[in-house]
């Protein structure tokens, strides 16, 4: 039976759904853990600042490892890295379930992050390589739907597990599900008729120096951006950290341009389709991520909606992502990516300006849900075609690292977006004589908070408009050739 599967014309879908299942549970895990934080805080008798590292340590580990693991998969085989990462994630989940102290829990979450970084770094590259170029957008769109479904299911499943079984089950549920994904991966992710598409760059050596420098850049950058508001943007720690990022970035560029087989081929950025596509993608996530962080504060602390009501209000926008993602991907395969990237970013920019000018102390359900749905529709229209266009100019031997790059763009933009929006809001609140903290938001200071909200969304809308201009610019002229492909023996 296994031979029939790997020899069938539909083998690409076996690869896709095997990896999509792992992606789904990874997204569900993130949403579930957020719901479990209060229970973890009470169990270990810890403060919120310490408990937050259960989430932060996991996210930082993934961000630092995405690029190196994507490239490692290109060099030694994506299947090998993916399967090992799944096993490490399951081991970290089991350890988190029985962690005796908060410190041990954080360490096991780092182990989970290592596994998840390996899985995310190679997973997308594997299923994209399994599809022909004419169906790349369709595959990416389906993957976006899986992520959207996981985002909806995560908080719901986490709430159920914490309420009826305890917070430990948020981690333990990953053990049987992860074990199943591991088993299916070992059986399905083998050579098949798409083996030619699963080629890796195994004639090249792994760039350990580039991996180390990229890790330092991302770790310090995310820590600086994430803690700048708390420490103060002019504090010694923040200034020293920013200086270290600059020095490491210069060293990284110098090394990558000279190393024979660099971790990230920087010359790809001279390709208009690739370089401007990455920039537009970053601006897209930067312009939309802050709203998902800010809106719960506005809905709960200004409009006095309950957490349940807020959760229900977030479902329609998420469903837009689930439903529209596959269609935009399929249509971009047929008609090209240009109209979808420009149109999608235009919709998200419009939604940001609506939120900037229309929100007040009495905004209606219809206005809020409708605008957030417009934002999600724009993101769904833009994301898959843009990612497909970036990957289209890259040789298949580098699908792993470039796919990881697209995910890293999203992660870094999310962190920076939240940090910038927070700074804008609390700074505006301070000019109104209100304590410059989001924790201070309540109906009595709603005027100051909404003023900050307005400036934050205006800023997001401005950057999204720049993204629209970049997407238009990408359509001018002919694309330059992609990086020269190296000999690529089959992946194992």
Phi and psi dihedrals of 460, rounded to 5?
Answer: -60, -45
For residues 248-266, average pLDDT: 87
* 369 and 476 share one domain: yes
Residue 56 lies in a domain: yes
pLDDT at 187 over 90: no
Q: What is the CATH number of the domain that holds 93?
A: 1.20.1250.20
* 402 and 283 share one domain: yes
Determine the distance from the C-alpha atom of residue 444 to the mean position of all C-alpha atoms in its chain, rounded to a whole number.
35
* 241 and 140 share one domain: no
Residue 151 lies in a domain: yes
* 449 and 355 share one domain: yes
Residue 438 lies in a domain: yes
- Residue numbers of the domain that contains 232: 208-258
pLDDT tens-digit profile of 212-255? 988 898 888 888 887 777 777 788 888 999 999 899 999 999 99
Average pLDDT, the chain: 84
Phi and psi dihedrals of 263, rounded to 5?
Answer: -65, -45
pLDDT of the residue at 491:
41
Determine the distance from the C-alpha atom of residue 214 to the mean position of all C-alpha atoms in its chain, rounded to a whole number.
17
* 431 and 305 share one domain: yes
The whole-model pTM stands at 0.81
pLDDT at 1 over 60: no
Kindly give, in sequence order, each residue whose CB lies less than 8 Å from that of residue 111, ignoring residues fewer than 6 positions away. 88, 91, 92, 95
Residue 203 lies in a domain: no
Pair of tokens at residue 60: 């930082």
Counts for the chain of helices (H) and strands (E), in that order: 18, 0
pLDDT at 352 over 90: yes
The Cα 371–Cα 467 span in angstroms is 19
Helix axes 53-76, 208-231, angle to 10 degrees: 160
pLDDT tens-digit profile of 51-63? 878 888 888 888 8
* 89 and 153 share one domain: yes
pLDDT at 202 over 80: no
* 234 and 336 share one domain: no
Q: For the chain, what percent of residues have pLDDT higher than 90?
A: 25
Helix axes 78-97, 102-130, angle to 10 degrees: 150
For residues 127-131, average pLDDT: 84
* 337 and 391 share one domain: yes
Residue 355 lies in a domain: yes
The Cα 401–Cα 70 span in angstroms is 4
- The total number of structural domains in the chain stands at 3
pLDDT of the residue at 74:
83
* 243 and 271 share one domain: no
The Cα 152–Cα 132 span in angstroms is 30
């Amino acid at each position: 039976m296994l031979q029939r599967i790997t020899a069938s014309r539909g083998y690409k879908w076996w690869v896709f759904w095997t990896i999509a299942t792992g992606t789904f549970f990874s997204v569900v895990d993130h949403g579930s853990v957020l719901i479990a934080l209060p229970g973890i805080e009470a169990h270990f008798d810890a403060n919120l600042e310490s408990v937050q590292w259960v989430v932060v340590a996991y996210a930082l580990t993934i961000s630092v490892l995405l690029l190196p693991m994507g490239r490692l998969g290109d060099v030694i085989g994506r299947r090998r890295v993916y399967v090992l990462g799944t096993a490490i994630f399951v081991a970290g989940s089991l350890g988190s379930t029985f962690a005796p102290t908060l410190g041990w829990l954080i360490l096991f979450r780092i182990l989970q992050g290592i596994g998840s970084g390996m899985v995310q770094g190679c997973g997308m590259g594997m299923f994209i390589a399994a599809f022909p170029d004419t169906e790349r957008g369709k595959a990416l769109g389906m993957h976006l739907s899986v992520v959207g479904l996981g985002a909806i299911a995560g908080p719901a499943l986490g709430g159920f597990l914490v309420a009826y079984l305890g917070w430990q089950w948020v981690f333990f549920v990953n053990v049987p599900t992860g074990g199943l994904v591991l088993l299916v991966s070992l059986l399905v992710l083998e050579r098949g008729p798409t083996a030619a598409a699963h080629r890796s760059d195994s004639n090249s050596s792994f760039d350990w120096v580039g991996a180390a420098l990229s890790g330092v850049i991302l770790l310090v950058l995310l820590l600086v951006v994430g803690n700048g508001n708390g420490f103060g943007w002019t504090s010694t720690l923040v200034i020293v950290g920013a200086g270290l990022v600059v020095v490491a970035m210069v060293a990284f560029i110098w090394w990558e341009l000279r190393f024979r087989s660099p971790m990230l081929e920087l010359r790809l950025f001279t390709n208009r389709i690739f370089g401007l596509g990455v920039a537009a993608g970053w601006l897209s996530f930067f312009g939309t991520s802050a709203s998902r962080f800010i809106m719960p504060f506005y809905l709960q602390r200004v409009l006095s909606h309950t957490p349940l009501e807020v959760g229900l209000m977030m479902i329609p926008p998420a469903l837009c992502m689930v439903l529209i993602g596959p269609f935009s991907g399929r249509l971009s395969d047929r008609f090209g990516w240009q109209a979808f990237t420009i149109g999608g970013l235009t919709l998200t920019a419009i939604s940001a300006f609506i939120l900037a000018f229309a929100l007040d102390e009495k905004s209606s359900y219809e206005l809020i849900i409708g605008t957030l749905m417009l934002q999600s529709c724009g993101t769904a229209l833009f994301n898959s075609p843009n990612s497909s266009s970036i990957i289209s100019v890259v040789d298949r031997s580098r699908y792993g690292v470039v796919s990881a790059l697209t995910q890293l763009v999203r992660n870094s933009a999310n962190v920076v977006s939240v940090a910038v929006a927070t700074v804008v809001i609390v700074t505006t609140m301070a000019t109104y004589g209100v304590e410059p903290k989001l924790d201070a938001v309540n109906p009595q200071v709603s005027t100051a908070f909404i003023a900050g909200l307005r400036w934050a969304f205006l800023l997001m809308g401005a950057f999204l408009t720049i993204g629209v201009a970049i997407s238009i610019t990408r359509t001018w002229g002919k694309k330059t050739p992609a990086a020269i492909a190296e000999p690529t023996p089959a992946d194992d």
